[in-house]
Amino acid sequence: MRDKVIVITGASGGIGAALAHTVAQRGANVILVARREEALRNVARACGERAHPVVADVTRREDVRRVVSESLARFGRIDVWVNNVGQGISRVPSQLTDEDVDDIIKVNVKSALYGMQEVLPHFKERGEGHVINVSSMLGRIPFALIRSAYSGAKHFLNALTANFREEVQQTHPGIQFSLISPGVVSTDFGLNARHGGPDSRSRPNAQTAEEVAAVIADVIETRRPDVYTRAGARERIASYYASVGEAP
């Protein structure tokens, strides 16, 4: 971890801020990316001299391209790119509007797509690199009706991650694409959901952002391709699909 150069999007709070603190404490250099300038700079100050904030909207490709260029100008290379931007939505599937779907795809899918596409030439030039996409258990099991569009977007992200890995590793096996799937996390996610929503902190058994960050930091070290942040997650997914298959 020491001296790795790690870009973290969505770094002004929640999982992104917790991950920034975790990896900075382990000796990594971090580029922190978010739209909220004051909150972002507060996180950067807390991380110390190894942190460099870049105010940007990663749903805009030109902003993502600028993050890549600023990171290379500052540190000379990028080792790890963490796509952590996401937003929920509180609306059942029969009530979704065009605007709902467009916005949820822009935030949860396009932001990660831009990150993967824009950092990839640098990784290919070096012959190595690591993309980490933060997904959700809802990208595996559509178990929350009011999160229908978010669940669909995370399924899309999961497929993109696997497809990028298969495509790129045919010619550049040193480039890894990892997927992280947390469950409910005690952050502002619920409160910031489109159309409002329940506070994620009020949900029973919610993980802390620091617990999820520790898992992501381990993935930076191990480069595992597909990781859940809670014990028993794989079994829960297998049980769900087994029960669906048995339904009449």
- What residues are annotated to the active site? 150
| 22-to-45, 94, 103, 142, 158 alpha-carbon distances in Å | 14, 41, 30, 31, 25
Q: How far apart are CA 18 and CA 188, in angstroms?
A: 13
Nearest partner of 209 among 2, 65, 79, 21, judged by Cα: 21
The amino acid sitting at 226 is D
User: How do beta strands 5-9 and 80-83 pair?
Assistant: parallel
Q: Is 101 in contact with 159 (CB distance < 8 Å)?
A: no
List the structure tokens of 105. 């795809």
Q: How far apart are CA 243 and CA 143, in angstroms?
A: 13
* Residue-wise burial string across 190-221, b where 16 or more C-beta atoms lie within 10 A, e elsewhere: beebbeebeebeeeeebbebebbbebbbebbe
Q: Residues 107, 108, 111, 114: is their CA dihedral positive or negative?
A: negative
Q: Which helix (H) or strand (E) holds 131?
A: strand 129-134
Residue 27: what are its φ and ψ, rounded to 5°?
A: 100, 10
Exposure of 104 by Cβ count < 10 A (0-12 exposed, 13-18 middle, 19+ buried)?
Answer: buried
